[in-house]
Chains A and B, each alone.
Chain A
Amino acid sequence: MTLTQHIWLPLVAATALATSMAAAQDTTLSYMMWDPEQLEAERAAIAEFEASNPGVTVEALAMPPEDYWPRLSALAAAGDLPDVFAMSSGFVQSWAEAGNLADLTGLITDEQLAQYYDSAASVGVIGDARVAFPQNWVAPVMYYNIDMFDAAGVEHPQADWTWDDFLAAAQALTVDEDEDGTPEQYGMWLYGRYSHIEPWIFRNGGRLLNDDMTALDPSPEAVNALEFLTSLVNEHGVAPAPAEMEGIRQQDVFPLGMAAMWVDGSWNIANVRDIAGDSFQWGIAQVPVGPDATEETARAYAWADMLAIATNSEQPDLAWDFIQHMVGEGRTASDFLGGKIPAFQAIAESEAWLEADMQPANKGLLLEIGTQPVETGFSRDWSAWRGYAASGSGGMNGELDEVFNGRSELDEAIENFVAYGNDVLTR
């Protein structure tokens, strides 16, 4: 018996009794997710579900991620989780191990499953059980400024680019016209952030974690990728030290025209459109494959946003119907803003989602990534060892920034973040 149950059992029992007595024939399905703007887009789909299920009301609630998780966690502690809720790739393992996620394995047929991106659907399988189902997925890509490439006479990024090709382009794209030592235009922009670094590691066949994801143990391929990225800043000067860009939102450096290339998540498509407007032409490309990777070991970096059903839901079947509606045919392309790729292939491949009239002109490139073998790189306590969100200054992120800012050596930084990460993971 848990601590909370121990103290509150009598009260909980009384509340449950009162609730069951008050229940009428009408059913309410509670649904919680982490994007208020997205929820507005989903209202139509929700209304449609209510219309085809008379007597069912969906009580939908949305708040941004940094508020969503504390609230959802509090509800889990109280045993009051909503019937259906959004689940991230980063948390799915911990939440499944905590027993909060209902097993969906038997509910979906192979035929249905084939309609979804396999790499996205596989993220929700923990152990032998399918505990969450993808709604959309996202993946880091390389953004590039077409105008800058053309002005420098550099060939646009190609699928078979090597690291050397990339470096040569970055050097040609770094421009210091007034020769004050601070280029007005950099070839590349990066810092220690997961979506800036891991794409290079995974595309070089590298791993940060050991096989069962219980400890940090960077492979030689990962270390090589980190060395290459460090050289971009410290040796070749084709990317600024993060300190130089302090005060500018990291996602604005590329759209403000300060760097010609940038690797970050596909969700930034919306922000680049907002900030850059029509000021220049830009496109997206795959992150170059590293020299250590083979066809078998190279991985794309991608992860899925999913929906899950609470273990304590009293209407798992209705909840599953709702999830199916919300991840599949109930949706339209316009529900998936910017760089979120629908997990349901029919929508992802539709003309409407490809948005041919908007930048980037080659959005279909994202769909290719969905067919590649992917790595999510998440583990228990990932946010702590990686340095994510409010922890962004710590862990691996913080140590790598010290290297890029020239205050620390890479081998020392690796030693530090491995030691810290393993300390966190054994806690």
Chain B
Amino acid sequence: MTPAWRRYAPALIFLLPALVGLAVFRLVPILWSFVLSFYDWQIFDQPSFTGLDNYIHILTSPVSGQVLRNTAVFALIYVPGSIALSLVLASVLNNALRSSAFFRSALFLPYITSTVAVTLAWKWIFSTRFGLLNNALAALGIDAAPAWLADPTYALPAVAIVSIWKDVGFYMILLLAGLQTIDPTYYEAARIDGARVVRRFFRITVPLLSRSLFFVLIIAMVRSTQTFEITYALTEGGPNRSSTTLAYFIYENAFIHFQMGYAAALAYILCFLLGLLTLVNFYFRRRWVHE
């Protein structure tokens, strides 16, 4: 046994289950579907090799441009919005109301409640004539309120807001776990210095939580590109595609039209873009994450 082997053996043994799972249950289907992205394959039919046709079609189709733009807008609302909100909620729960099981559970409820069920409620909130929102606005004297979900300007932001609302509880518990690693003595010290709440939040909590925040950032980015159910129940990607994001478009092609080769090509274009973004993120990570 060489010394190098002895040195690296523990890591390899620790990683063994994950590596086996990765290779068999993730990489095989992923590589398989990557190969399929070069085929014309309607799932119930035989695949036929078409080279780069799927990719060329996607890159030249005007719909893809709109869908990519929607994906970016959605992410720009969803990612910062959900991180800011979950960070505030987590630190409030961690600091002020540790014993309040009620609030912790209430805030987490949207994440575990059936998406179909909750979006029915939201659909009613945004409804043009009978909606809670427009009735409230009318009570305030605003009569020309928009048809939120049927208006190309508001449909996508509305979907993003409901998605934030649904996921914030999830990010909150990830951040709560991170907050637990912050040594209370930091706060004690700051308190003796007389630092105020907001100052303590930005000077201590945020920097010391930067690892967890970075982790939540990556997850939020991934989830922002995988939204489907909420869009489906609220707008069906409309009106006229104005809230169709790439994930929704992939679902449509895969399971409504069954064009799996085309859907796979869309997915790998998405992965390519996400990969680039993540590399950028990891580059900046060195600058702001506290190691």
Direct contact of A and B (CB under 8 A): yes
Using a CB–CB distance below 8 Å, which chain A residues touch chain B?
Answer: 2-3, 66, 69-70, 72-74, 76-77, 94-95, 97-100, 242-248, 381, 383-384, 388-394, 398-399, 401-402, 405, 407, 420, 423, 427
Give every chain A residue within 8 A of B244 (Cβ-Cβ).
393-394
**Contact A392–B239 (Cβ < 8 Å):** no
Known contacts A98-B42, A247-B126, A427-B57; is-contact A390 B256 (Cβ 8 Å) = yes
- Is B171 in the interface zone, CB < 8 Å from A? no
List the B side residues contacting A242 at CB < 8 Å. Answer: 150
Residues of A within 8 A of B110 (CB): none
Contact B127 A247 (CB under 8 A): yes
Docked Cα-Cα span, A409 to B59, in Å, equals 28
Interface residues of B in 249-291 (CB under 8 A from A): 251-253, 255-259, 262
Q: Say yes or no: A384 contacts B257, CB within 8 Å.
A: yes
Bound complex: CA of A398 vs CA of B235, how far in Å?
11
Shortest Cβ-Cβ A-B pairs, 3 listed? A247-B127, A393-B238, A243-B150
Contact of A398 among B35, B240, B256 (CB under 8 A): B240
Whole-angstrom CA separation of A420 from B241 in the bound complex: 12
Question: In the bound complex, do residue A98 and residue B61 qualify as a contact, i.e. CB atoms below 8 Å apart?
Answer: no
**Pairwise interchain contact A402-B239, C-beta atoms closer than 8 A:** yes
Residues of A within 8 A of B44 (CB): 72-73, 76-77, 94-95, 98, 100
B128 within 8 A of A: yes
Contact A383 B147 (CB under 8 A): no
Q: Say yes or no: B128 contacts A394, CB within 8 Å.
A: no
Q: Tell whether A70 pairs with B257 under 8 Å between CB atoms, given A95-B44, A398-B240, A427-B57.
A: no
CA distance A394 to B242 in the complex (A): 9
Nearest B residue to A70 via CB reads B255
Chain B interfacial positions (CB closer than 8 Å to A): 35-36, 39-40, 42-47, 57, 61, 63, 123-124, 126-131, 147-152, 232, 235-244, 248, 251-253, 255-259, 262
A246 to B, closest residue via Cβ: B150
Q: Contact at A390–B150, with CB atoms within 8 Å?
A: no
Q: Across the two chains, which residue of chain B brings its CB closest to A5?
A: B46
Tell me whether A393 and B236 are in contact in the complex, defined as CB-CB below 8 angstroms, given that A74-B43, A247-B149, A248-B130 are known contacts: yes
CB pairs A–B below 8 angstroms (7 shown): A2-B46, A94-B42, A243-B151, A390-B251, A391-B252, A393-B239, A401-B150
Check if A394 sits within 8 Å of B241, measured CB to CB: yes
B128 to A69, Cβ gap below 8 A?
A: no
Q: What is the CA–CA distance of A69 and B253 in the complex, to the nearest angstrom?
A: 13
Complex: A2 Cα to B36 Cα, angstroms: 11
Instruction: Using A99-B46, A391-B237, A391-B256 as known contacts, list a sample of 5 further A-B pairs with CB atoms less than 8 Å apart, ordered by residue number in A.
Output: A73-B43, A384-B259, A392-B236, A401-B238, A423-B61
* Chain A residues closer than 8 Å to B61, beta-carbon distance: 423
* Minimum CB distance partner of A242 in chain B: B150
- Report the minimal beta-carbon distance from B144 to chain A, rounded to whole angstroms: 12
Q: Which of A99, A246, A381, A390 has the most CB of B within 10 A?
A: A246
Determine whether the beta carbon of A98 is less than 8 Å from that of B147: no
Q: Are B240 and A3 in contact (CB under 8 A)?
A: no
Q: In the docked arrangement, what's the CA distance between A388 and B255, Å?
A: 12
Q: Cβ of A390 and Cβ of B232 under 8 Å apart? A: yes
* B240:A393 contact, CB within 8 angstroms: yes
> Of all chain B residues, which has the CB nearest A77?
B43
A247's closest neighbor in chain B, by CB? B127
* Across-interface contacts of A390 in B (CB, < 8 A): 232, 236-237, 248, 251-252, 255-256
Complex Cα gap A245–B35 (Å): 45
- The answer to whether B123 touches A247, judged by C-beta atoms less than 8 angstroms apart, is yes
Given contacts A388-B256, A393-B237, A427-B57, contact A244 B147 (CB under 8 A): yes
Tell me how far the C-beta of B149 lies from the nearest C-beta in chain A, rounded to whole angstroms.
5
Q: Are B46 and A389 in contact (CB under 8 A)?
A: no
Which residues from B are CB-within-8-Å of A97? 45
Question: A247, B131: Cβ atoms under 8 Å?
Answer: yes
- In the complex, the answer to whether A244 meets B128 with C-beta atoms within 8 Å is yes
B residues less than 8 Å from A243 (CB atoms): 128, 147, 150-151, 239
B232 and A3 within 8 A (CB):
no
Smallest CB-CB separation from B127: which chain A residue?
A: A247
Contacts A70-B255, A423-B61 known; A248 to B127 CB distance under 8 Å?
A: yes
Q: Are B129 and A247 in contact (CB under 8 A)?
A: yes
Cβ-neighbour of B35 out of A3, A95, A248, A399 (below 8 A)? A3
Alpha-carbon distance A247/B149, docked complex (angstroms): 8
What is the chain B residue whose CB lies nearest that of A423? B61
Provide the residues of chain A in CB contact with B241, threshold 8 Å. 393-394, 398
Residues of the A chain whose Cβ atoms lie less than 8 Å from the Cβ of B252: 384, 390-391, 394
Contacts of A74 in B (CB 8 A): 43
Which residues on B sit within 8 Å (CB–CB) of A381? 257, 259
Chain B contacts of A384 at CB under 8 A?
A: 252-253, 256-257, 259
Chain B residue at minimum C-beta to C-beta distance from A76:
B44
